[in-house]
Chain A
Amino acid sequence: MNRHPSPGRLRAWHLAAGAVLLAVLAAGSLFVGVGDLTPAGLLGGRPGDMRLLVESRLPRLLAVLLAGTATSVAGLVMMHITGNRFVSPSTTGTGESAAFGVLLATLFAGGEAVLVKMVMAVGCALLGTFFFVWILRRLTFRDMILVPLVGIMFGGVIGAATTFFAYRADLLQSLGAWTAGDFSGVLRGRYELLWIAGAVTALGYLYADRFTVAGMGRGFAVNLGVRYDRVVNTGLVLVAVITAVVVVTVGQIPFVSLVVPNLVTLALGDNLRHALPATALAGALLVLLCDVAGRLVRFPYEIPVSTVVGVVGSVLFLALLLRGGRRMGLR
């Protein structure tokens, strides 16, 4: 009985149109790459085609979709639980902390144990994120810009420490793999951890209303009988897990967690029940586009997705600041 469809509000067909667009692009992306794979060859049952699809192209596509979705939703949640549009896992040291965790795991458990890497990455991401929030609560002057600046500095310090130890242990090359997101190494058996990020994202949807309420502030949340601290902590764990899993499997993807949620909420408002599915879709779309672009620009060579997203994301972010600055709380 929705008698009042609202303008600017997400309607079912918007989501459906986005999903169709994503599906078309996704299907197309399967046939972009150095190995010769065509729809005709696939249907004709050419030997090797199916194997290429199942071993490489499909895993890569899934990794792109999962990472894009989870990263952007993590940004959306972070933005709400900190009440600041410029706070995202990439401006709070979360990604850097996760990379530090991967370094620790590599130093002490060798490079092969993926589960150890993940546990360490999640642990460090949690510590780093909660430490940042602890700093945040002690800041007396909580300016819209100051908070993410503090986060970026904090991330810088952790990044510097990581680089130092990686340099001493002759691991700088591996460090590059964790800090610069790249899907070219994704094969079957090497991306499946991302399903954890996908599952956590889906769980986040169950909390959508609570995250929205938390975004309205502690007083609002308490009035509505929502346990503010528990919701914030749940959100932080969600963000840390997603960020860490993405860092371990494909590396950090910059800007997505900052730009996508801001673009979507600028258009749709901050009600997560509507904004979260749209953010998930838009995040997947952006990362897929950037990955395919990175594969095509210097074909047959590849440009890492983090580089492409860095360029596209910074342009989008600047446009966002120039056009939506007032609505984002900047005067």
Chain B
Amino acid sequence: MIEIKDVTKRYGETVVLDGVSLTIAPGGVTSVIGANGAGKSTLLSVVSRLVPADGGTVTVDGMDVATTPGDRLARRLAVLRQDNHLSVRLTVRELVAFGRFPHSGGRLTAADRDLVEEAIDYFELGDLADRHLDQLSGGQRQRAHVAMVLCQDTDYVLLDEPLNNLDMRHSVQMMRRLRRMADDYGKTVVMVVHDVNFASCHSDTIVAMKDGSVVAQGTTAEMMTPEVLNAVYDLDIDVHEIGGHRIGVYFS
């Protein structure tokens, strides 16, 4: 369980997170939605200890992220940031293998290698495994990074806009895979998503943020209503039931 209590973060005078309290139950997919600048990415960064909070606490299964040794936390929680452009030239397999670093400290055991191959196969990267990352398309690279996070084999996986730079087909595939990661491996997947309809179709729970605060949290059915979405985005959004999913229509 991830427990966020009264977390505050300021950049200079700007308050980015204003006393956020939130509990994310283990299991399933949770999407964090909200307008630009609502504090979604910052919240994810604070939870994954990439950015220190100015106030409040975050605990992951009772471990305070601010004080727990980094390597211990790295075996429990993995994070993939939005900007995953690496200046380092590695092959896909080398990158994925670094997911084992918190467990093996660089000395891969046979079991580690099996997990690396499993993650590569899971994301259908077998043909690309020996290619360098800079030889891949944006979508392939994104898949390689998510494979690394899977290989890290943590209970919690945090992703900041995993659909960034992906076209429609690759976005759908990515969401399906993340969904299956939660279902097949029992992981708790928390991600920042821009498109409410992807959130609606693939997540169990949705958290809505606005101006540095959580304004609503609930099941997908509870959240995908015109009232909630209008309040979150300040935009008239119709919600229609299409093929068993609630779809927000806001284009015109």
Residues of A within 8 A of B (CB): 1, 4, 6-9, 80, 83-85, 208-210, 212-213, 215-220, 222-227, 265, 269-271, 273, 327, 329
Contact = CB atoms under 8 A, between A and B. Distances in A.
A8 B92 CA distance: 13
A7 to B, nearest CB: 6
Interface of B: 48-50, 69-75, 78-81, 86-91, 93-94, 98-99, 101-102, 105-106, 110, 113, 129-130, 132, 134, 152
A224 B74 contact: yes
Most chain B CB neighbours (cut-off 10 Å) among A8, A80, A219: A219
Given A222-B70, A225-B71, A6 B87 contact: no
B94 A223 contact: no
A84 B87 CA distance: 8
A225 B75 contact: yes
Given A209-B101, A223-B78, A1 B90 contact: no
B50 A219 contact: yes
A269 B89 contact: yes
B50 A223 contact: yes
Contact of A327 (B50, B69, B89): B89
Most chain A CB neighbours (cut-off 10 Å) among B74, B110, B129: B74
Chain A binding site: helix, strand, loop or mixed by DSSP? loop
Contact of A1 (B74, B94, B110): B110
B67 to A, nearest CB: 14
A219 B81 contact: yes
Nearest to B70: A225
A216 B86 contact: yes
A323 to B, nearest CB: 15
B139 to A, nearest CB: 20
7 contacts: A6-B129, A223-B74, A223-B78, A224-B102, A224-B152, A225-B72, A327-B89
Contact of A213 (B87, B101, B129): B101
A223 B79 contact: yes
A79 to B, nearest CB: 10
A7 B135 CA distance: 14
Contacts of A8: 130, 132
Nearest to A3: B117
Contacts of A222: 48-50, 70
Contacts of B99: 224
A22 B113 CA distance: 34
A80 B98 CA distance: 16
Given A219-B79, A269-B89, 8 more contacts: A9-B91, A216-B86, A219-B81, A224-B98, A225-B72, A226-B71, A269-B132, A271-B90
Given A83-B87, A209-B106, A217-B86, A225 B74 contact: yes
Contact of A225 (B73, B80, B91, B110): B73
Contacts of A227: 70
Nearest to A221: B70
Nearest to B45: A219
Contacts of A83: 87-88
Given A209-B101, A222-B50, A226-B101, A270 B88 contact: yes
Given A6-B130, A224-B74, A269 B91 contact: yes
Contacts of B106: 208-210, 273
Contacts of A219: 50, 79, 81
B104 to A, nearest CB: 10
A194 to B, nearest CB: 28
